[in-house]
Structures are given as structure tokens and as C-alpha cells.
Structure 1
Amino acid sequence: MKSLLLGVNKKRLLETIKVSSSIGSSEKGGLNRLALTEEDKMMRDVFVQWLHEEGLDVRFDDFGNIYGRRKGKIIDSPAVAVGSHLDTQPCGGRYDGILGVLTALEVIRVLNENNIETDYPIEIINFTNEEGARFAPPMLGSGGVSEEFTKDFIYSTMDDNEISFQEALREIGYLGDRRHRLKNVRSFIELHIEQGPILGNENKSIGIVEGIQGMSWLSVKVTGETNHAGPTPMENRKDALVPSAKMISKVNEITKKIDGLKTTVGKVNVKPNVANVIPGEVDFMIDIRHKDDEVRSYAIERLKEQLSTIALMNDLEVTITTDWHSDAVRFSPVVTDAIKEAADKWGYSSIKLFSGPGHDAKYMNKIAGSGMIFLPSIHGISHNEDELTLDDDIEKGANVLLYVIRKLANN
């Protein structure tokens, strides 16, 4: 067998990324390729063509996940799965999970042109709606395959225009068959940009992801009383907005008391949202993350107590509900050790870390031992048109991915 240090074709890989970057491109150099839109269909069609060109067996399942299977020497053996997603945020970058799909394609191209067979099959996957920008929650494609979400739940999920996931999937021609879902998997590996500053701050090329933080989304509704801003005395008001601002401050303050906790309030709605009317209702959402589920649960209970106290002191009603939660994940040592070995063999600097964002590997870990490779994001920027991962880092990540896949796909 040829050396495991066989490298990828950097020029070809960058050309492939360039093609992707032209589909759904934005004025500022990013991408707007929401799941199951016309732009997503165009990218899917190109990706499927690439898979066929490499002689892969192509199929898509009832969630629109696309698979390209390269046969192994051992008949009916479990596959090594690799991939990520091609959809983006409304003003997303060109790299994100896209690199995970396109570097996997480059790995197949290298294996093919060098006539390298593997003992086990290799499956490239493009998961549907990883971002959750159009259909919430995120990771519906991998969540469907892993049965984290039911088919009825996924199909009935609506976008802002009340178009269902199933309807959108049918519209772009990627409503496949349940029998095509991924099964009999040996391991799963996903390459992704870090979406954070750790690799850059530590001057490391490769992130060996040990797991993914658990996360919860809480919906908070604060109810007061709408009234006219002019005649209503300050002491008689039941303004829902000012106490809500205090609550949001508490959400930020708790992170100073619990190490490693991350909280975000990124969505706020004020009603009636008129300049001369006292707000009678405020809705906001809290995103809470930690690698330890018990710590996250403790933080949620503390926040509920603090927010309820603020509401009581201001004679307001508050309702706090958990809209969605996902427990923390620990990845397979078999996969993470292979990533470390690959980085060491190539002489690339590396560091072990936990992922803050959720990824498809989170749900794939329910099916088979999984792992992730992180690449540096310049200034930690992602989900942004300025998102940037350098060409040299992309090549390094692809070389590591090639090594890991060959190791996992052989006895």
C-alpha cells in the first residue's frame, strides 16, 4: 500500500471550492445558500455530478441527504462515512461545513487517481439543513438519520413563508427514499472550520475535537401592560421592556460565575414596538452552552430563579420554556487518536479542544464512533461574509482527512 502520507491536489481542491463559492454568492464575497432553496439545488446538482464523475454510487434519502459510496474490498462491510453540509446562513461564508464535503470529495479523487482500494467502503455525505437558518432547529438531516427527530416532525417544520420542509424538499427534486438512509457505519469523520479563535490564538494548524458542548434554547416571555407613553405616570407603569433588559444582563453575568459557560441572547421581540407606546410584552431567546450537561442544567435553574425574581419585583408575569436542547457529546478515541497521528506524521501543530457549535457529527456519534477536524478561522469569524480559512490550512486539513480516512477504512 502506498504511503499514508500521500497528499491532496491543492490546486484542484481550491478550484472546487471556487465553483462552490460562485453558487449563491453574495455581493460581499460570502454565500447565501439556504437549505432547499434554488441556490441549494444548484449546488446539490453540481455535487451529484462530481460524485458520478468519480464513479460513486449516488443516492439521496427521505431527508434529502446526499450520499456517494465508494466500494470497499470487503463485501457488505460497514462504511467509513465522511462529510458535512453545503447549506449556509443568509449572509454566510464560503468555508464553514462546505470544506468538510469538498475536502472529502478531494480525498476520493486522490484515492481514485492512485488506484488505491480500501478494505471498507467510504461514504461521502452532504447533510440537509445543518444550519437551521431556514428550517429550525438545525441539523435536521443528520438528526433524521440518527432518529434524534421523527420524520413527521422534520417534514412538518415550516419556514417563515409557511413552506414545509417536505414541500421544499419535493420542490427542488431531492425527496428521496427511506431505504437510502445511511446504515451499517464503521465510523464518521467531519472536517469543519473552527468558528472560533482558539486555533489562531494558540497558533495551531489542526484542531482535534474531543466532543461538542451541550446546548439549550430557552424562550422567555415577559408580560406587562401596554399603555400610552404620554399620560401614564412612571410609577403606574407595567413596562415589560426595562425589566427584560435587566434579565438579559443577568444572562450575561452568570457566565462570570460558572467557568466555561456561554450564554447568548440573539433574538428579542418587543410588542407593540411603537415609539410612543409602553411595551406590554417582550419575548427573547437564550442560548446556553457547556461541555458538562450537569453544569448547563444548574445554570438554567439559576437563571430561571433570577429572571422570576426580577419579574416578581416589577409586578410582571414571566414564562420560561425550553424550546430545544441537545446533550453534550464525547467523540470516539479511535477517531481522535487517528487525527492526532495524522497531524504528527505530517508535522502539523495540533491541539485538543471542544466544539462550541453543534455539528452533524454530534448526531452521527449516535450511529458510530465519530470525530472532527477543525481548521483555523481567521479572527474566529464565521457565519459571516468575512469568514476566512487560509488555503494552506485547507490543504493541511485535507491531508489529515486523507490520512484518517485511509487508516479507518483499512484493517
Structure 2
Amino acid sequence: MRLVQAISSEKIVVFEKESVTLPLGFKAGGMHCGIKRKRLDLGYIVSEVPATAAGVYTTNVFQAAPLLVTQESIAKEQKLQAILVNSGNANACTGEQGLMDAYEMQKNFAAELHIDDHLVAVTSTGVIGELLPMDKINQGIKQILQKEYEQEDNFKKAILTTDTTVKNTAVQLKIDGKTVSIGGAAKGSGMIHPNMATMLGFVTTDANIAYDDLVSALKDVTNQTFNMITVDGDTSTNDMVLVMANGLAKNNQLTKEHPDWDLFVSGLKIVCESLAKKIARDGEGATKLIEVNVSGAYSLEAARAVGKSIISSNLVKTAIYGTDANWGRIVTAIGYSGVPVDPNTVKVGIGPITVFENGLPCVFVEEEAKEYLEQENVQIFVELNQGDCSAAAWGCDLTYDYVKINASYRT
């Protein structure tokens, strides 16, 4: 599937079926090493050359061992050449042994690639509080670079836990007359909340870009995308988004002063927003993607706070599941968002149907609202009439299946 989106008179081509290997010089793969019973559970991304690297990480104070090792690696010289991911076990709250195991994963994969240890990032996702089965992982590391496991689709599957589907997208754009590609893959289904949760995001690009500017772009885009989603209000110990830029597109180095800087950031945002929305839609037990659009706020922070408040409300989420246009729950969430608002200026719409305006309910046809809420994609519009700032947030409905899935997560 290809979509073309015009941005600043330039074109960005979106490839919904492509992923982290669309950019030049990257390969990926995955295998089953035995952490899980049957499904793939060990994956990798490798660049032909060391790549400029940046990351954003969970705000949870209980950061898992792999996050500590990866942050340390990037800090050494702002470079990575490979990422090794295991699923099924988070290696979190595992003490000194967990940290040693993360270093062992890094060292052994680096040895297979014949590169320095610090050029390998390690990430884990799964059950918290259990030690990694290092004998199985080490055996997998010895085999995983074999040609039979080198498949991008294997990587996308190997990073999943309770996800029901893989999540990926990629774009291409022109910079300095060169074709630059940006690809992404992610996992996430439960424990998803603004400021990152049980999600991993991996972005690759062949753009030549300065480290400080890559860090700035990633943080800015993350605040607009991954930090604007929620599934269940829980934040986890392992989440991160990593970007690797290997420069093989041979464009002039991108900085904020480059004339195509905004175009590159737009491409990065398209990739990250697509992945974020797919994570929200794939929330555990979810049947609907909910998008909240807030406009007319006095600041960007205020718009984001209102959007997050609505999308995080269990009462709103259950109403959407039940196809109940209970606008009172939306208004209530706006009211406790912490943002000062004048109720008499607020307007709320469920899809094309205005349900609340100027402090009063609006007359609408319940059957029409119910029919709209039966769609897979539901939009809520909030106009605050305070300023000109806006933001979007994404989440999913809350269903009976969410309880079933999480009641038996370890069994």
C-alpha cells in the first residue's frame, strides 16, 4: 500500500508494508530460542556500519536492566550498530544478576558480529521479576545470524508479547536530491499510558544526521506520538524508542539549519504516529481505536493534558465500547484534567455529532450517535475556545477481554 502526502510542497511516500529494512544498510531477523513455548522470542536489527543513535525511555523509576545497559552504550559515543531484543521476559526487577545477564547478551551478540560491545543495544519485554533463561538466549545468539532467520517479518513477530498483530510502517523522501528512507517497527498492547509504557519502538533511517539534532527530533516527535497514547493507564519498566541513522543515503548532514530539516521531521513523525496509533488500536481486548482532537487551547501543554485526560478515562473507554454517547463522561474528564477551562465556552463532538456546547447539552439523535460509535475508528472533538493550540491523543475502548487477558497473563 502506498500513500503520498504533500508536506511543504515536497512529497513523502508512505509504505505501510515496509519496516526497518527499507533504509539502506539494515537487516533484521528473528527466531524462537525457547523463552516462549512456541512463538518467536529473539530478534535483531543490524546496520552495515555504526549508526548515530538516540533513545527515549520509560519514566517508571524501576527501569529494567536492558534500559540501563543501552543508555550507557549510547552515551559512550552516540553510536549503535545493532539491537538485540528478547520477548517473553522483561529482565526487570532482577537485581545484579539481571544486569549481568543484559551485559552478557550484549557481549555475546557483539562477538557474533565482530563489533565492540557498546555498539549493541539490548532490550527485553515480558514478565517482570524473572531471570532470563540465559542458556537458551545464548544458544539463540549463536544461531540467529544464520540466513534462515534473516527475515524482517521474523523480527516484527519476535518482539511481540500479548500483541495480536505486528506494527510497522516506512516512508521515503528526497533530501539534497537523495532518497532518504525511515522505517519503523513496534510492539505494545497492554500497560500503555502517556509518557511511555510497555512498548518498544525501533526506527531506522539511512539519513546522515547530527546526533544532537537526532535526539531533539526524536524527543519532539515522541511527545506528539508515543506520549499521546494510552490503553490502560499503567506505565512499565522496559519501554524505549530507539533510532539508528547510518548515513548511507549520503545526503548532506541534517541539522536544524538544513533546508530539508522540517521535511525529515515530518517523515519521522509519520512513522512514529502510525506506530503509536497501531499500538493503541491493538490494546489488549480492544475493538476500537479512539482519537481525541483538542483545539482552541491556550497552550500546547494544555491541549495535550485535556486529550490525555479524556483518552485515559475508563468511563469514556467503556462508553465507547458500549456504543453509548455518554458525553457527560467526556466533559467530566475535561474538568479534572487540571487545565483551567470555562465550561460555557467548551464544545464537544462525537464524530460529526455535536453533543455539548456553551455549557449545555445539545439535542441529537441517539440512534445516529450509536451507529457512529459502532465504527472501528471513533473520533472525539473538543473545542476549548481559549487560544490556537491543538493536540491529538489516541487510545482504545475497554472491554471484557482486557480483564480476561490480564487475569491470566502469567498462566
TM-score, L = length of structure 2: 0.27
The structure richer in strand per residue is 2
Structure of higher CA gyration radius: 1
Flag the structure with more relative contact order, 1 or 2, with Cα contacts below 8 A and sequence separation at least 6.
Answer: 1
